[in-house]
Structure 1
Amino acid sequence: MSTVFVNGELIQRDDAKIDIEDRGYQFGDGIYEVIRVYGGNTFTMKEHMDRLYESGEKMKLVIPYTQEEFTSLLLRLIETNGVKDGIVYVQVTRGVAPRQHHFPSGKVPGSVVAYTKDFPVPSAMMEQGVTAKLAEDIRWLRCDIKSLNLLGNLLAKEEAASEGHFEAILHRGDTVTEGSSSNAFIVRDGSIFTHPATNLILNGITRRVIKDLCEAHDIPFREEAFTVSELLGAEEIFIASTTSEVMPVVKIGGQAVGDGKPGTVTKKLQSLFRNRKNR
């Protein structure tokens, strides 16, 4: 039985309880992060924690620990559960209060939970590539906040999964934004294009690592929006996330991307990312 973190305590998972009037449960009034663990060590943990606190500020949600305290608690949880290759999921809500739409008055402490999970690297899919489908982006206009309000993402992911696809690539009108649980990239004339980090996408941590790798290795990286037709005509497509790393997309719907195999730029990025996480 695994140990979980609930409001300041490390307890057994079966003993964990959340109040029925927790605002995360009733409104999705909260934020979260998923942090990778490789070989028992966290990867880009500071970046994830920075983003968690940034999301909290954007939602006027106070996390009841300093970032240093919270990081230490999560490291202790990871060590307690002996995680080698996996993730730690972190969630903070506005806390427990009588149900009302406006924020509770007075000082209501946020509810904080975290748990770990084994999650091997999806090596076979990364080598062979995955398929995706297009879906209209119906989400709210603050996708830069990593909030618990994920219904738009879930509907798109379910639509893709029900047709046998790994991911849904979203678009607002003719403009591609990102995947339902990833950032989306195309390769054209040797350059990588991805949507700018605006309110319309989540500025993924893996996205940031990819940008840094490109700058360090002279790979042209352009934060420019691209269209659905440019996506469908791209030489290469890949998506990126904490759990998927750099994942080639070899088919959109029934249409092959390039020659239907992971491209050279994508494979180079996979190698650079692998070196980065192992150093």
Structure 2
Amino acid sequence: MAVDTSARTPTWTFVDGEWIAGNPPLIGPVSHAMWLGSTVFDGARWFDGIAPDLDLHCRRVNRSAVAMGMAATVPAEEIERLALEGVKKFDGKTAIYIKPMYWAEHGQAGSVVAPDAASTRFALCLFEAPMHTAKPHSLTLSPYRRPTPECAMTDAKTGSLYPNSGRMIVEARARGFDNALVRDMNGNVAETASSNVFMVKDGVVFTPAANRTFLAGITRARVIGLLREAGHDVREATLSVEDFMGADEIFTTGNYSKVAPVNRLDDRELQEGPVARKALELYMDWAYGRKAAA
């Protein structure tokens, strides 16, 4: 049977010392990653000639590999260099998603379930992915929850966590929403199914405190810092669904879309607020190296 090596958008992958176009077949049916889920990845963005926080994403994928019991075989600085080399293979007109990845080929001798760190493989995949920055989106409360560190590999950005996110989004879209507001096992808000979440009440900016049940993202940290530098009161706190239902505005942050406002939470309509607009302005001014407006 022929292997489909096509990709949905222009794609280049660096693996085993060479760049390959399209979607190369890399994982076989006996690979540990295929049947036991030992995969980690990270995601950075390139657009308009810049790649904000690329170095931090390259460092995090290496931390994820170690957290999953694999080896970080490529120094973060080399991943960053390769990523910028790969960007040159595109036409420079469309935003690019930069995805470094590790996976295990084999399990440990005598305990196949655990990955064999010595069998760790690395690939770096770049593909065109338009930005959806500032695009308003709707949320609904998900019936599903984020796991605790005792229940899942929450300290790694691992592919095995994402089927849970996927079913959250499928369930939300079946009810007419774009994404889902997700709670942790204690019933407090953690994030959305695919991004970190912020709310504003009486001028104060709140975001769920990092409690290891969700990925406290690089863009989240960047936005927190920029808003604080601009004089905003930003607090990481334990937040309830009721807190979000009473918010003056809600917005999300993530590497894929940076900052985006929420225009509906279940049956409550919301408007894009001034803090979300300011957060995006501050982020882009920082990313492009511009001086922020007073």
Give the structure 2 partner of residue 208 of structure 1: 221
What aligned pairs does 1:46-65 form with structure 2 within 5 A after superposition?
46-65=55-74
Q: Structure 2 unaligned runs (5+)?
A: 1-9, 290-294
Q: Does the Cα contact within 8 Å between 1:144 and 1:198 map onto a contact in 2? A: no
Q: Structure 1 unaligned runs (5+)?
A: none
What aligned pairs does 1:186-265 form with structure 2 within 5 A after superposition?
186-256=199-269, 260-265=270-275
Give the structure 2 partner of residue 178 of structure 1: 191
Q: Does the Cα contact within 8 Å between 1:33 and 1:146 map onto a contact in 2? A: yes
For residue 61 of structure 1, report the CA deviation from its aligned partner: 1.6
Give the structure 2 partner of residue 113 of structure 1: 123
Give the structure 1 partner of residue 159 of structure 2: 148
Provide Cα deviations, 1:70-100, integer angstroms capped at 9, x if missing partner.
2222222222234442211222112345892
C-alpha distance in 2 between matches for 1:14 and 1:52: 21
Q: Does the Cα contact within 8 Å between 1:246 and 1:269 map onto a contact in 2? A: yes
Deviates more, 1:147-156 or 1:12-21: 12-21
Give the structure 2 partner of residue 266 of structure 1: 276
Give the structure 2 partner of residue 134 of structure 1: 141
Give the structure 2 partner of residue 69 of structure 1: 78
Task: Output the TM-score relative to the length of structure 2.
Answer: 0.85
C-alpha distance in 2 between matches for 1:223 and 1:14: 40
State the SS of the aligned residue for 2:220.
helix
C-alpha distance in 2 between matches for 1:121 and 1:114: 20
Q: Alpha carbons of 1:277 and 1:251: their partners in 2 closer, same or farther (altered >3 Å)?
A: same
CA RMSD of aligned residues (A): 2.1
Task: Output the TM-score relative to the length of structure 1.
Answer: 0.89
Percent identity over the alignment is 23
C-alpha distance in 2 between matches for 1:151 and 1:120: 23
State the SS of the aligned residue for 1:73.
helix
State the SS of the aligned residue for 1:80.
coil
State the SS of the aligned residue for 2:42.
strand
C-alpha distance in 2 between matches for 1:35 and 1:16: 23
Q: Which amino acid aligns with 1:26?
A: W
Match of 1:87 among 88, 94, 97: 97
For residue 145 of structure 1, report the CA deviation from its aligned partner: 1.9
